[in-house]
Structure 1
Amino acid sequence: MLEVKGLSAAYGQHPSLNEVSLSVAQGEIVVILGANGAGKSTLLRAIAGICEGKVSGDVRLRADALTGLDPDEIVEKGVVLVPEGRRIFGDLSVKENLLLGAYPARARDSERENLGRVLDLFPTLRERQGQVARTMSGGEQQMLAIGRAMMSAPEILMLDEPSLGLSPLLCRELFQNLAQVKSLGIGVLLVEQNAKQSLAIADRGYLLENTRIIHEDTAARLAGDPAVQKAYLGGGGQRTSAPATPAPEPSPVPGAPAVSARPQPRRSADQQAGLSITDLVARAAHQSVSAPRKAPAEVSAAADRLASDRLTVVVKDIEESARAARQRPARAANPAPAPPQASRPQQTARPPVIEVYRRPRVEVYRRRPSGEFERE
């Protein structure tokens, strides 16, 4: 069993967790519900030993203390985290990703058995063992991330927002697979925004608000709690509020005539206009279609006069230009020869310079984990 007692975390002077305590048993699904910024991801990262802030408190798996251990040592103890965003090795194949998950010493002897168990749990991965991981869909990559974590033979599997970015159909399939993980005897600590589906497969749940655990109960009771429904399930709950007490009517003034407000009947749009709105729209459409497309005679006559005036101005400008050209003195038929210029030494013409530019050629190489380079 994973037990967390008084776990706190802070980034500088800003606390992210305050005295959080919870427990997860083997073969149990526990869900953490909370708003964005409540500290859910920090909780998982603090347990996994990868929190960048200052962490204090006690985290134990059975009798083994996990607080202060390196992340790889925590994995060796049996606690594994599937981080938000999957974080798979995109350039490696599906099978290579899975085999990397079996790197811890606790999982090496049972590598073949764990691989078969993962492929049975996720049949899609069996069909795509040779496929490059980054070419898979988001749901398939999430299955690969969970399968890679299970290859380390964990006792506690922690998942941070596994349904993030997945379609509703893939979310349903993902939560069904998590229920099967539970049947293998693995404890699951789940942080999830999809409260409805996570509570449907969970055994217990915690509410994390403003860095603190404010409530703990079974998943069924949390799903039926009106406050949880209103905050996380999009409902207003089943509580019926007492009818509001009507305000006392003002006492009539003595001697004043009694005036009662007459209720105003509701009137439709047709009644307000006095006509059918449908008929008005149909009549307007008919008038628009039957309207003449040609401009009125007055507008056409004005346009013709404007065009005629502009043409007259252009012709007048051409005639004035021709008259000015005829009045210029004619040039002599035989112009006087130009005075001889001093002879200059003949210079040889320089050959033209032609510059040729070649388009640069870019080659992209990728470095594989083995250290070799391959061209894309």
Structure 2
Amino acid sequence: MLELQDVTVAYGQHRALEGASLKVRPGEIVVILGANGAGKSTLLKAVSGICEGKAGGSIRLDGEELIDLSPDRIVEEGVALVPEGRGIFGDLTVEENLMLGAYPKRAKGEEQANLERVYGLFPKLIERRRQVVRTMSGGEQQMVAIGRAMMSSPQILTLDEPSLGLSPLLCKELFQNLKAVKGLGIGILMVEQNAKQSLAIADRGYLLENAHIVFEDTAQALMHDPAVQAAYLGAGGAASPHTHEDPIEHSETLPVPEVPRSFAVRPPSRQRQSADALLGIRTSDLVARASAAAKPPPAAKSTRLIQLP
């Protein structure tokens, strides 16, 4: 279980988060609602160890303190982040992006089983596994981002605005896929602007206002609370000006992807293969390629014209 107790994040004299406490149990979806600037993304960054501010309080996973650990150590403990904007490598293929998520020691030897689990959740990625990611739709890229996080065998999956930029249909498909992730026993902590659809799949929710958690309840209770309805569930159910049209009442319900039940949070692999063997390339070379692709091209040298007499 992930447990936050009196977590505070300060940027100098400014408190971006003040005394936040919450819990996420295995196989549970918890959504954080709040206006822009309330501190939602700051909370997720504090959990993942990538917050630039000074974090205090306690963040524990199964009793182990995470608050002072580096981001890679936090991933090793079992917390994976899907950041806002996805953070994928556009010039690499689907499978290369997925295998980059398999580097933690906790996932070593489970690459093949985890890859099968991701493809079970997102069947579209099987036929696209050799496709360069930047040529894919926003919804497909989000599948890659979630799949890459799951390659680390996480106990807790955190997502920052996963539906941002998606069409209503792809947004609905995304939430159905998250229900399937929950079915694997993985706890999900999600910041999401589409309050109506996120509460529809969530177990519990927290309201974050001006850096403070001001209310918590079951998702169903929040959906029927008049104050929550007025603040977050009007005009398409979004908590920010960037709203989505709500497709729930006017479109056919999408099926939840079927995932082999033999996969647990850390599934046993029948055939243990390294990431290098699966890709046919060393992971270090793959990272070097990704880093090189991300560098901007060198600036062109200026040419000075000299007028002859």
TM-score by length of 2: 0.77
Match of 2:115 in 1: 115
Match of 2:87 in 1: 87
Which residue type is aligned with residue 52 of structure 1?
E
Displacement of 1:371 in angstroms is 6.7
Distance (Å, rounded) in 2 between the aligned partners of 1:78 and 1:370: 25
Match of 1:62 in 2: 62
Distance (Å, rounded) in 1 between the aligned partners of 2:84 and 2:185: 23
Distance (Å, rounded) in 2 between the aligned partners of 1:12 and 1:131: 45
Q: For 1:149, what is the secondary structure of its paired residue?
A: helix
Distance (Å, rounded) in 1 between the aligned partners of 2:155 and 2:191: 17
Alignment of 1:62-211 (within 5 A): 62-211=62-211
Provide Cα deviations, 1:208-230, integer angstroms capped at 9, x if missing partner. Answer: 00100000100000000000000
Q: Give the number of the structure whose alpha-carbon radius of gyration is greater.
A: 1
Match of 1:9 in 2: 9
Which residue type is aligned with residue 178 of structure 1?
L
Distance (Å, rounded) in 2 between the aligned partners of 1:194 and 1:370: 33
Of all paired residues, the percent bearing the same amino acid is 69
Distance (Å, rounded) in 1 between the aligned partners of 2:181 and 2:69: 26
Displacement of 1:370 in angstroms is 8.7
Match of 1:368 in 2: 289
Rate the CA distance shift 1:371–1:233 in 2: closer, same or farther, 3 A: closer
Give yes or no for contact 2:59–2:65 (8 Å, CA) kept in 1.
Answer: yes
Give yes or no for contact 2:91–2:290 (8 Å, CA) kept in 1.
Answer: no
TM-score by length of 1: 0.63
Distance (Å, rounded) in 1 between the aligned partners of 2:63 and 2:191: 25
Which residue type is aligned with residue 203 of structure 1?
D
Displacement of 1:369 in angstroms is 4.1
Which residue type is aligned with residue 46 of structure 1?
A
Which residue type is aligned with residue 211 of structure 1?
A
Distance (Å, rounded) in 2 between the aligned partners of 1:185 and 1:219: 19
CA RMSD of aligned residues (A): 1.5
Q: What are structure 2's unaligned runs of at least 5 residues?
A: 236-287, 298-309
Where has structure 1 moved over 6 Å in runs of 4 or more? Answer: none
Distance (Å, rounded) in 1 between the aligned partners of 2:174 and 2:152: 20
Match of 2:302 in 1: none
Distance (Å, rounded) in 1 between the aligned partners of 2:223 and 2:79: 28
Which residue type is aligned with residue 51 of structure 1?
C
Distance (Å, rounded) in 2 between the aligned partners of 1:175 and 1:2: 21
Match of 2:43 in 1: 43
Q: For 2:221, what is the secondary structure of its paired residue?
A: helix
Provide Cα deviations, 1:200-259, integer angstroms capped at 9, x if missing partner. Answer: 000000000010000010000000000000000017xxxxxxxxxxxxxxxxxxxxxxxx
Rate the CA distance shift 1:145–1:370 in 2: closer, same or farther, 3 A: closer
Rate the CA distance shift 1:111–1:226 in 2: closer, same or farther, 3 A: same
Which residue type is aligned with residue 368 of structure 1?
R
Rate the CA distance shift 1:13–1:371 in 2: closer, same or farther, 3 A: closer
Rate the CA distance shift 1:171–1:370 in 2: closer, same or farther, 3 A: closer
Q: Which has the higher contact order (CA 8 A, sep 6+)?
A: 2
Displacement of 1:175 in angstroms is 0.2
Q: What are structure 1's unaligned runs of at least 5 residues?
A: 236-366
Displacement of 1:368 in angstroms is 2.7
